[in-house]
Each structure stands twice: as structure tokens, then as C-alpha cells.
Chains A and B, each alone.
Chain A
Amino acid sequence: MSTTTPTAPAAPTSALNAARTTATAARVLRQLRHDPRTIALMILIPCLMLILLRYVFDASPGTFDNIGASLLGIFPLITMFLVTSIATLRERTSGTLERLLAMPLGKADLIAGYALAFGALAVVQSALATGLAVWLLGLDVTGSPWLLLLVALLDALLGTALGLFVSAFAASEFQAVQFMPAVIFPQLLLCGLFTPRSDMHPVLTAVSDVLPMSYAVDGMNQVLHHTDMTATFVRDVLIVAGCAVLVLALGAATLRRRTA
């Protein structure tokens, strides 16, 4: 049975364990519950921004429709990116990650737990923001608001994935916060929010073609202008979901049981 191999064989991390995943998600939400101010900021700021936007474009409701719908997709991405990158950084620096990985916890359990907890929060955040925009601020959506919510949720998962991934490269909270402009701002500029992507310099159009936020915003605009699910919408949704899964897998690779 026992050999004298110096290092352990590759850990056969058992596939997702539902009980450990939900325990982790519950723990993350419980931590947030002790921090009501963060919850309030996460939920209220997108709503306040939408109200602000509505009256900034008071004279041109068409502009509000376009930008408002895009922002409904962008807010969850940004908030979840920030919250996840800080939360996992704290997990790394406080030693709890080392402790968890020395226990019988699969990396997939940990990541799925985070995704589940922040996904749930994103549903609340997006539902409030979407409801506010559609029913109170008069955002004119041709398609179903449920599809807006679906895209928002996928964006939140993408944000969680990106946050988890970059936290591996941040040694402190200061650095983690700086990853926000580094990872999010270029996507914000190139996603078609300010000007159609086809109007950009061809190089930038090509770059924007491989950035996931472009598809998140495009998906929102598809719902805005079409009554039913277009092929483009389905493509957009699949790309955003695919990116989220890919980056989550990359994030899992940054969780090491053995560290120097």
C-alpha cells in the first residue's frame, strides 16, 4: 500500500459534493450577513445609478433604453468581480484556504460554493435593478424581461469567475482593487456601450470580438430590440456562459493544495 513516493499522487478530487458545496455557499452568505452595509451597497448602487441615468438622458429616452439595458448586464459583472476578488484574496491571506485545502474539500466544491452564493445575490440585485428599470423608469424592452435577468445572472457568474481568477495574482487588497480598472475598464470601453463596435478602429473591433463583455452587452440589446430569442441572442448567451465556465476552471487551477 505505502510507497515511498516523495510527493502525493495527483489528488483525485472527487466530483462536486453537493453537501460541501451548499455548506460553502451558506457560509459565504452567512459572512455577508454579518456585513449588512456591503449587502446594501451591492443591491442599492445599481438601482441608484439607473435612476441617475434615466434623468441624465431625460430628453432622449432612446439613449436611456440602450445604455440602461447594457448597464443591467454590466453592473452584476462589476460588483461580483469586486466582491469575489476581495473575498477569495481574504481566504488566501487569512490561512483559511490552506486549512480548507488540507481538509477533504474539493476545489470544485469551493468554487461552486462561491458561484452559488454570489449567483444568488446577483439574482436579487438584477431582479431589483431590472424591475426598477422596466416598470418604474420606463425602460422600453421589446423582449421578455426574464431574458434580461438570465443574461444578468450569467454576467454575474462571469464576474465571479474573473474575480476568483485575478485574486490569485493579487498579494494585497490594494492590488486586487487595481485589477478592476485593468480587467473591467478596457472591456467597458470596447463592449459597444459608448459607440457601436463596428465604428471602432478595426484592431479594436477585433479585440472586442474576443472580450466576453461585448457579448453580454450585445445579448442585452438583442432582448431590447427583438420580441423572441434570436440566434444572435443564443450565441451571446452561450459565449458568456462558456467564458464563465472557462475562467472558473482557470480559477480552480490557481488553487493549489501545495504551496511554497
Chain B
Amino acid sequence: MMNYAPDPLHPTAPDAVHAEDLTVVRGPRTVLHHLGFTVPRGQITGLLGPSGCGKSTLMRSIVGTQAKVTGTLDVLGLPAGHPALRSRIGYVTQAPSVYDDLTVRQNLDYFAAILNPGRATAERRHDTERVLADVDLTSHADALAGNLSGGQRSRVSLAVALLGTPELLVLDEPTVGLDPVLRRDLWNLFHALAADRGATLLVSSHVMDEAERCHRLLLMRDGRILADDTPDALRTRTGTDTVEAAFLHLVDEAVAADRTKETTR
């Protein structure tokens, strides 16, 4: 078992996320099966796997919006969904969740007020300008969110999550639909957040080339974790050149194992 630092705010506390026997049921289906893994602090952990494998459900469990979660799931030293975590986690859903009938700045101002109502207006404005610059939307600050392109709207959604410098960022497919330049810029931003602000990032993707940019990888398939390792270790272990090939290798292995289980039954 893990030992937790007595002060949950202490930056040297161990793992950002720690799961044991984590199971999630949605309707008649079990979406996540007895997962056990850890997400270390101050690093970028990639959550990869085909769509429908349970990535979003796992992320929703971590931020505490998923119902019917059993097992152990500790986030920043507290059980997932603890009220004290709400201001310490930034969460970006797959579909941009912003108000289309507000401008970008009005969206940010509102969420900043919800996050930290006690803060001085000048300080909040400074925060808003910072996140606008982070996602490169300063020039669109006064445009209605509904009039922006899909990629711009998802960046507004990301900017909201960056407000108030959260310790843990949970980003569900943040780079979908972005052009290569923006994708590179965002990954540079993610690395800066981890390196300079000590933030922990959990980023999901189904694009395997993004996996190479992560410090650690959680490979998922059918609600189970296939591998939990660094990209290098994965490639070495499977004797492949790319994470994509490593993933396919592991999937084939798992499928073969499933088959032998079925035939011996």
C-alpha cells in the first residue's frame, strides 16, 4: 500500500493518481475491469487505445463525474471526487464544453469567478490573459465561442482547464481536429506545464504518434490496461521501433491469450 503524505497539498506527495481494482459499470456493461495503475506527478502520462476502450470513462472517474465506480481510486492523495479536489484538477472533455453564446473572454471570466471567487479582479484578469496566450487565442478573445472553428473552440475549452494553475490536468483528446502546427505548439505547452509548473498531465489520444511525446504510457484495450511503461521500455520489451507497433504487438498477444482461454474452457 501507498503511504500518503499527511499534507495533501505537499508537492512531494507520491503519485498523482493511484488505482487498485478499479471497476466501472455503465448500464448493463462493465466498462473498466479491475484496473490497477499509477500516474506519477510532474510528468505527462499518455492514455492510449482505440475509441470505445474506456479512456473517457477512466478520465471521468478520476475527475469524479463518473457514477458506479468501485475499487480504490486516489487522486492527489484524496479519494476521487473529493470536494477539495475540484479546484486542483483541470478537466477538458472530449467535446468542447464552453458557452457558445459568450465571447472567449466572457467564458474565461465566468469560469475563473467560479474557480476562485475571492480573487481580486486584476489578478483574475491576469490569469485570463495568461491562459489566452497559452492556447494562442489572444487575438480571438472577443469573438463569440460559437463563431469559432472546431479547433479553436476546443482550445477555449482547454484554456478554461488551465485557469488557476491546477496540479493535475486531465485532457480528453485535446488535439483532435487540430492542424500539425497547433498540435506541436500544444504539446510544447504540455511539456512546459509539466517542467515549469510541476503539473501532472494525463492526456488521452488515439493517435499513436502522440504517444512518443509522453513520459509514460497507459495502453488500454477493452476496459483493461495492456501496458503501463515508458515509450522506450515498451519498444524494447516488444522489440519494435514505434509505440504503434508495440501497441499492435501487445493487442495481438492479448487476442491470442483470449483465444487460448476460450479453447481451453
Which residue of the partner chain, among A1, A9, A94, A260, contacts B77 with CB atoms under 8 Å?
A: A1
Is A15 at the interface (CB under 8 A from chain B)? no
How many A residues touch B, CB cutoff 8 Å?
39
Which residue of the partner chain, among B8, B80, B87, contacts A103 with CB atoms under 8 Å?
A: B87
Interface centre among B6, B69, B91, B113 (most CB of A within 10 A): B113
Contact status of A96 and B99, CB under 8 A, knowing A7-B81, A23-B113, A102-B91: yes
Is A195 at the interface (CB under 8 A from chain B)? no
- CA of A7 to CA of B91, assembled, Å: 19
Contact status of A27 and B68, CB under 8 A, knowing A1-B8, A8-B79, A12-B83: no
Asked whether, in the complex, the Cβ of B101 is within 8 Å of the Cβ of A34, the reply is yes
Interface SS of chain A: helix, strand, loop or mixed? loop
- CA of A252 to CA of B27, assembled, Å: 23
Is B26 at the interface (CB under 8 A from chain A)? yes
Asked whether, in the complex, the Cβ of B64 is within 8 Å of the Cβ of A8, the reply is yes
Residues of A within 8 A of B100 (CB): 94
User: How many A-B residue pairs lie within 8 Å, measured between CB atoms?
Assistant: 124
- CA of A260 to CA of B252, assembled, Å: 31
Asked whether, in the complex, the Cβ of B67 is within 8 Å of the Cβ of A260, the reply is yes
Residues of A within 8 A of B82 (CB): 8-9
Which residue of the partner chain, among A35, A99, A258, A259, contacts B93 with CB atoms under 8 Å?
A: A99
Contact status of A19 and B78, CB under 8 A, knowing A99-B97, A103-B111: no
Contact status of A2 and B78, CB under 8 A, knowing A17-B117, A103-B115: yes
The size bracket of the interface on B is 35 or more
Is A235 at the interface (CB under 8 A from chain B)? no
Which residue of the partner chain, among A19, A99, A259, contacts B113 with CB atoms under 8 Å?
A: A19
Asked whether, in the complex, the Cβ of A258 is within 8 Å of the Cβ of B86, the reply is no
The closest CB in chain A to the CB of B86 belongs to: A104
Residues of B within 8 A of A95 (CB): 93, 95-97
Asked whether, in the complex, the Cβ of B69 is within 8 Å of the Cβ of A7, the reply is yes
- CA of A96 to CA of B157, assembled, Å: 10
User: Closest CB of chain A to B28's CB: distance in Å?
Assistant: 11
The closest CB in chain B to the CB of A98 belongs to: B65
- CA of A94 to CA of B115, assembled, Å: 19
Type the 1/0 row for B97-115, where 1 means its CB is closer than 8 Å to any CB of A: 1111110001000110111
Residues of A within 8 A of B87 (CB): 103-104
Residues of B within 8 A of A99 (CB): 91, 93, 97, 111, 160
- CA of A19 to CA of B99, assembled, Å: 20
Asked whether, in the complex, the Cβ of B67 is within 8 Å of the Cβ of A34, the reply is no
**CB pairs A–B below 8 angstroms (19 shown):** A2-B74, A4-B20, A4-B79, A6-B71, A6-B72, A6-B73, A8-B64, A12-B83, A13-B83, A20-B114, A23-B110, A30-B110, A31-B99, A98-B65, A98-B93, A101-B65, A102-B89, A104-B87, A104-B115
